Structure 1
């Protein structure tokens, strides 16, 4: 908290940047850009400040700079790391797009009801119902419409019957769909068709992708906002009439979307220089002047934001039919500093390929500029030393550069800045070494960290689960549960709490991002998805008894790894054996109460015994798999979704191919989750061995049970007196099969399946047994935890993480360690329901019977 000086720029939604200090009185009305799985906008929920804090300046090899306090976390390839733990040579992740300075737009009415005087009243009402009439320049919907109009001007078409078409790659069309929905309309699915082309006698095939809106209101609104109607080559459109009245960042929404459709991507001209990005149009002779005016208006905007352009080119082309055409072209000057300004402030929208390439171009050009700046400084110093009488041979020994460079600097003099060295890579070679993630971040190396005095510092908090935001270009700040019993007592543990919580935190990866107990590749992930805990057993991370005490013995036969996307597998390969974030945790507990002696003995539990509870799931792999299939469901079953009271209920109809694919993918993700918890348990055993100096087998660290949360399974149940197969969705629930059920492990079949109900980290948890009435009342289910009574946003307003941690330690002897104070605040005991009451209801209903109660000793969180 409280980590950035007031002049640090924060990147906001719609490509705006603002000094963090200026968010003080308006943060609740803004959304900051977050580097989550993708680059997204998230509401800001918190603003803090502190006076007289020591700050340090971080500089990277690409010339990026930021000042921050020592405890300020930076996103690195290994997750969030506080500045004090970083050194020169370490890598951090940056998002190089900086945006334009925020400014309040002049408020005026862009479109009013009068503009639709000749239209059907029903069309007008549809726009009014969506709060689009009147449309003002300060409306959020207007900003989204600016992007849609800009892109449509480049790569869209107005069709008959109210159809409005957009053409792009599928991932870019998904962004267009999101903005169409955001302004209140329903986009179509993404269409694809094969197209034949012939250029200079050469024939070839391409795949064309498109999205349309069939709303006449949407079409009329876009045309009123300046989208060209009819054949663009014959049209006399320029920029929209209101363009000059917009704030620069609003103009950039329109222009960058147009560039996403029409401007060339960054590419190498020769070796170390880039071509100037160009945008061109064909117009008929009659419309050519309007086309040139359009180019001039765009060039004038670019000049206003510090981007220089070349002279507009105008030349005749081959005639089309009976009409002569003129080709118009506008290019961005390819001076390195000019291109850096362009790519970092305007760039491209609705085109991920061009945005990705522009980030690589930015990093390449900034690296080249930093190298040239260093060589300029060496040349200046060498000349000064020579003028002072230092022999050239001595000067050469002072600098790690080519000797000829020193000689030319001293004897020949230089006109202008030096060139980069001969071994500096060309752009294409550089691109092969640079990766840009889905969230548009890329890594760069720290070149210097220096003390930079003291000043007031500020921080913001976002609602997004990634809990980060972009500051000066830097990124800053399926589940289930298993219980393992031991033969240790609370007396054995006392005095070791601090050592144990620190060792567990250091050895069990937690928090967002990558990092697991083991390193795996995609092939191994596929094996885990197919085989579950059998993979862990074969690779030395489990023993046979672990499988016997796991739901389904840690393996779902219906798993189909081929139904999981490559993107999900890539996310999963770096997270095998990690807790993640949110409400996931690893907790060392002591048994405080035994309510059922017979079942307690069957479960191997007794009072004062130490147990370990592990709560986590399938991490990024499961989250990505869910997202992948939700998008497929939206595309294939839009009609069904429109009938649902809440889109969160989206599902594929049972029996459909999509439902079968999703079920196979979900079962594979369940296998992954079981392996994830198994590896964490295996690592926990190793930590206990080191802390207590004895083998884990001597401490009888055995799995009591692992039960899944938040999954759907095909099960046989009796409904209306008849047995049938059903999909049982346990969302916010867990399985609770009674005694005698064939799917309960043999060792527990006489007493019922163990059920583990976590509470808060200040209230304890429960072990239940599946109740006799669970099959009759709840399809063999009960609650899977205490459940929240307060949102994470409100929790961070009401609680201070450090205070919660200190109170738990001082008043209840509970030792907590987490990646951040915000995480502790989000999981404060007061934000959860009374777990005692939740369990009382389950017990009295007979769906889950009380066996034992546990209380926290040590807790680690992401």
Structure 2
């Protein structure tokens, strides 16, 4: 066969096991796949070839875009892909190092700034102009830096016990009390984090002008200039500054006052005042600090002392601006102010900014009327008799707005009050109807702004009322069922025994009838008891329980990325958001382990943290983590977690000096700080193995390997820290280098030009992640040595537990390679070979330097760099050495594993984890321990390609020579 038909592509056979997609169009080089025809059949089943062909478009790419025999589709760049890109005139690409994208259907509501929500797919054309709400230490907004479309994928519907729901792909992370967890690893009964406030749908405002310079014609021109300099004149309905002003005005109408010349005073709790100060700064003015003073108060004849907190602004321009926008210039009681004229022309979400700030200042917090019912939240105003009609009009407009957004109100109430010494006054009051569903709509769409205490109580009220509604619905269903069964002849006595509900309820349902809906039962908590016990976090999120996860078909899916370090966003109310391998030798034989497999695997599983989320061998502070990021395994040596020989047998001696901890975000550091010395999940594992075959005895002797020997393979990476680094820089690169991105066939290949600030920053951060990954594996190896010492009752040194080698899998490194220059068709066949410094991107590929290469550790320089290629749990793994053809053929690279055949979702649909464990133990004497059966199913032997075939291609092409084969004894997984 001289060609291979792969549908969209026809590959040409260059020689045995080497296939080429010819260079055409905007491809800068051809694309090559190293594979047998059987492996090509598997590689062509997904998007690997398309991704490889697109990789060939990257600026500065040299020779070929390459796919190793274990290639399968990834994000932008195929896993198993290699690209050498000019380090001076090319680019560096985070997507070509390692990155995952997780997805949601287009109908998912995303929370935006200013109390809005929008469907995810509608962000496609506007995401760069929007800010999404992020649940960090507090709720805040953050620029959206990325919008992705990922085609049609299987999605799953998650429903909570309170009735909230969302759909997502199974690899989309959800925030849980234990950190971010992929949906595929969640199940009924697990907890997740939600934020109950939904906000109002985004609408585009009608464009009109609210204020112009003519409105300030009677003022000092300097005042007008101040407003113009801050883009506040002219002021239009579409200006973002207006949204900040609406909140400030609404609050000031409630808890603000005018002071001396130019002064505006705001009163509240310090944390609430800080939010107002932020909005004042957002429109270009400087607020004062927050002042506190003790004051005497008297209510109904009782005197007491309280601390008053306030801040002021002293800008005459700001004060005049707010007065022109509707702030009363004088006493609120007697000024006759009403709704600003422009408010009814604004969108619902803009009007909500004004009213919710007013409610934060003036409306009472959710409170129990009695036991399980809430008072209707009310807002009141005192007006003079002469201005009462203006006050009534103000409340009528408020009620009309609430009706527009689906919230019912009571009739406006009017009361005569004790007149003050200057005026006869009337008190007006408007309340929200206290029907449960109506209150939920109010609290979750408008609510209170600038008042965290009321916001927290509103969230508790939402949670309480939703639970109450579910309980009432349950009792309604029960009443209907028992009536039907009693009508059919069912004895009431038996019905009483069958239903978990009081006897009187059954009797009334059957005999007495009932007007209206049933009340919740006696066991349902009273509101104030619920408020006391229920926790709302500082960022206004709460914990909820998953009731069900069901397949919801296949749908087009999308994702966004935010700039904020928290790297999450709110979707339908839910909070949703590099590896390597080392081998440890021993002087034990298989017979030493037989009979102790279960004790060994249990001890390893107990001692070494696995799974998603936090937890590691050591807990570090920021300074320690930064030392790890910059010093690598040298830090572990100093702290007693390593010996000198470990550094000598690690790629680059376990440290990348180009690393810079300052280039790593706080979010990435926070994720890594809790995970140092942990396996993680997915295909990461620790496996005790025995050597079953030796192919090159001389090289095996140099590596210290022999038949029947026990070795330990550790496969894991930089955990959440490395993923976060890749995420951070990919999104920043997409924003900063948009022009370059537009030239590429796939946005997932986003890259920074070599020599640019972002390229240098990303390279420094990526090297820090490599250092972290080496230390992570070092700590796991240290703990493994301790476990072996306990189980076999001898010092690990007596068992000669020495590091064979540690090599990175997902990496881009500056290396010098010989590349061809010249065009043989236009230069008489002459091609010049020159040495060039390249960014060699290896994504799911491993370095494979041959004998004599100066970067191979001295202990192995005569035979070549060790290469470790893990297989599946049931097929074994390989140790290779760098082949003599690797530098010429693959930029010194080969495969890094067997390569997946099935997605994790397909695997879980095909295999049952417990069955896989039983099969491995009963038929192959392989003992497996994992956090869940789902993890075992995802990594079942049938999920992977034939590792023997992958390694055979590497060996026959001379890029990685077989040295020895190993087979599992026991395995632990996350």
TM-score range for the pair, normalised by the shorter chain length? 0.5 to 0.7
Secondary structure in 2 matching 1:467: coil
Q: In structure 2, which of residues 755, 774, 783 is the aligned counterpart of residue 686 of structure 1?
A: 783
**CA 1:699–1:211 in structure 2 vs 1: closer, same or farther (change >3 Å)?**
farther
Secondary structure in 1 matching 2:166: strand
Residue in structure 2 matched with residue 174 of structure 1 by the alignment: 274
CA apart distance, 1:816:
14
Given the alignment of the two structures, is residue 578 of structure 1 paired with residue 675 of structure 2, yes or no? yes
Secondary structure in 1 matching 2:243: helix
Residue in structure 1 matched with residue 740 of structure 2 by the alignment: none
Q: Deviations over 1:733-786 (max 9, x none)?
A: xxxxxxxxxxxxxxxxxxxxxxxxx99943399xxxxxxxxxxxxxxxxxxxxx
CA apart distance, 1:702:
12
Residue in structure 1 matched with residue 350 of structure 2 by the alignment: 250
Alignment of 1:623-702 (within 5 A): 685-687=782-784, 689=786
Residue in structure 2 matched with residue 432 of structure 1 by the alignment: 532
CA apart distance, 1:805:
4.3
Given the alignment of the two structures, is residue 46 of structure 1 paired with residue 46 of structure 2, yes or no? no
CA apart distance, 1:699:
8.3
**CA 1:344–1:702 in structure 2 vs 1: closer, same or farther (change >3 Å)?**
farther
Distance 2:472 2:212 in 1: 54
Residue in structure 1 matched with residue 372 of structure 2 by the alignment: 272
Distance 2:163 2:278 in 1: 35
Residue in structure 2 matched with residue 112 of structure 1 by the alignment: 212
CA apart distance, 1:286:
1.5
**CA 1:3–1:404 in structure 2 vs 1: closer, same or farther (change >3 Å)?**
farther
Distance 1:180 1:192 in 2: 19
Residue in structure 1 matched with residue 615 of structure 2 by the alignment: 516
Residue in structure 1 matched with residue 361 of structure 2 by the alignment: 261
Alignment of 1:291-310 (within 5 A): 291-310=391-410
CA contact (8 A) 1:508 1:579 kept: no
**CA 1:80–1:613 in structure 2 vs 1: closer, same or farther (change >3 Å)?**
closer
CA contact (8 A) 1:75 1:475 kept: yes
Residue in structure 2 matched with residue 158 of structure 1 by the alignment: 258
CA contact (8 A) 1:580 1:616 kept: no
**CA 1:146–1:701 in structure 2 vs 1: closer, same or farther (change >3 Å)?**
farther
Q: In structure 2, which of residues 447, 460, 463 is the aligned counterpart of residue 360 of structure 1?
A: 460
Residue in structure 1 matched with residue 728 of structure 2 by the alignment: none
Given the alignment of the two structures, is residue 421 of structure 1 paired with residue 521 of structure 2, yes or no? yes
**CA 1:202–1:699 in structure 2 vs 1: closer, same or farther (change >3 Å)?**
farther
Alignment of 1:650-799 (within 5 A): 685-687=782-784, 689=786, 761-763=811-813
Secondary structure in 2 matching 1:436: coil
Distance 1:133 1:81 in 2: 48
Residue in structure 2 matched with residue 836 of structure 1 by the alignment: none
Q: Which has the higher contact order (CA 8 A, sep 6+)?
A: 2
CA contact (8 A) 2:115 2:200 kept: yes
CA contact (8 A) 2:810 2:845 kept: no
Given the alignment of the two structures, is residue 448 of structure 1 paired with residue 541 of structure 2, yes or no? no
Distance 1:266 1:168 in 2: 18
CA contact (8 A) 1:309 1:332 kept: yes
CA contact (8 A) 1:614 1:681 kept: no
Secondary structure in 1 matching 2:533: coil
**CA 1:573–1:119 in structure 2 vs 1: closer, same or farther (change >3 Å)?**
closer
Distance 2:340 2:305 in 1: 35
Q: Deviations over 1:99-138 (max 9, x none)?
A: 0111111011111111111111111111111111111111
Distance 2:642 2:443 in 1: 56
Distance 2:441 2:116 in 1: 14
Alignment of 1:808-827 (within 5 A): 811=893
CA contact (8 A) 1:504 1:687 kept: no
**CA 1:614–1:373 in structure 2 vs 1: closer, same or farther (change >3 Å)?**
closer
Distance 2:781 2:119 in 1: 44
Structure 1 segments unaligned to the other structure (5+ residues): 478-484, 493-498, 533-541, 551-571, 582-586, 589-605, 621-676, 704-757, 766-789, 791-798, 822-861
CA contact (8 A) 2:156 2:167 kept: yes
CA contact (8 A) 1:74 1:475 kept: yes
Alignment of 1:825-844 (within 5 A): none
CA apart distance, 1:690:
5.6
CA contact (8 A) 2:845 2:894 kept: no
Secondary structure in 2 matching 1:762: strand
CA apart distance, 1:404:
3.0
Residue in structure 1 matched with residue 639 of structure 2 by the alignment: 546
CA contact (8 A) 1:509 1:578 kept: no
CA apart distance, 1:506:
11
CA apart distance, 1:700:
9.3
Distance 1:759 1:453 in 2: 34
Q: Deviations over 1:650-700 (max 9, x none)?
A: xxxxxxxxxxxxxxxxxxxxxxxxxxx999976652246569987666689
Residue in structure 2 matched with residue 64 of structure 1 by the alignment: 164
Distance 1:549 1:290 in 2: 78
Given the alignment of the two structures, is residue 197 of structure 1 paired with residue 297 of structure 2, yes or no? yes
Residue in structure 1 matched with residue 423 of structure 2 by the alignment: 323
CA contact (8 A) 1:59 1:448 kept: yes
CA contact (8 A) 1:153 1:258 kept: yes
Q: In structure 2, which of residues 324, 334, 347 is the aligned counterpart of residue 234 of structure 1?
A: 334
**CA 1:123–1:337 in structure 2 vs 1: closer, same or farther (change >3 Å)?**
same
Secondary structure in 1 matching 2:550: strand
**CA 1:147–1:518 in structure 2 vs 1: closer, same or farther (change >3 Å)?**
farther
Residue in structure 2 matched with residue 217 of structure 1 by the alignment: 317
**CA 1:129–1:336 in structure 2 vs 1: closer, same or farther (change >3 Å)?**
same
CA apart distance, 1:2:
5.1
Alignment of 1:564-575 (within 5 A): none
Q: Deviations over 1:597-632 (max 9, x none)?
A: xxxxxxxxx999x99999999xx9xxxxxxxxxxxx
Distance 2:419 2:617 in 1: 64
CA contact (8 A) 2:335 2:387 kept: yes
Q: Deviations over 1:388-443 (max 9, x none)?
A: 33333444455332333233222222222111111100111111221111221001
CA apart distance, 1:198:
1.7
Q: Deviations over 1:133-180 (max 9, x none)?
A: 111111111111111111111111122221211111111111111111
**CA 1:453–1:615 in structure 2 vs 1: closer, same or farther (change >3 Å)?**
closer
Q: Deviations over 1:210-243 (max 9, x none)?
A: 1211211111111111122211111111111101
CA apart distance, 1:75:
1.0
Secondary structure in 1 matching 2:423: coil
**CA 1:763–1:510 in structure 2 vs 1: closer, same or farther (change >3 Å)?**
farther
Distance 1:816 1:425 in 2: 55
Q: Deviations over 1:579-603 (max 9, x none)?
A: 599xxxxx99xxxxxxxxxxxxxxx
**CA 1:342–1:228 in structure 2 vs 1: closer, same or farther (change >3 Å)?**
same
Distance 2:411 2:210 in 1: 31
Residue in structure 2 matched with residue 794 of structure 1 by the alignment: none
Q: Deviations over 1:56-96 (max 9, x none)?
A: 22221211122222222211111111222212211111100
Distance 2:499 2:506 in 1: 9
**CA 1:383–1:680 in structure 2 vs 1: closer, same or farther (change >3 Å)?**
farther
**CA 1:686–1:377 in structure 2 vs 1: closer, same or farther (change >3 Å)?**
same
TM-score w.r.t. length of structure 1: 0.62
Figure out how many residues of one structure are paired with residues of the other and give that number: 603
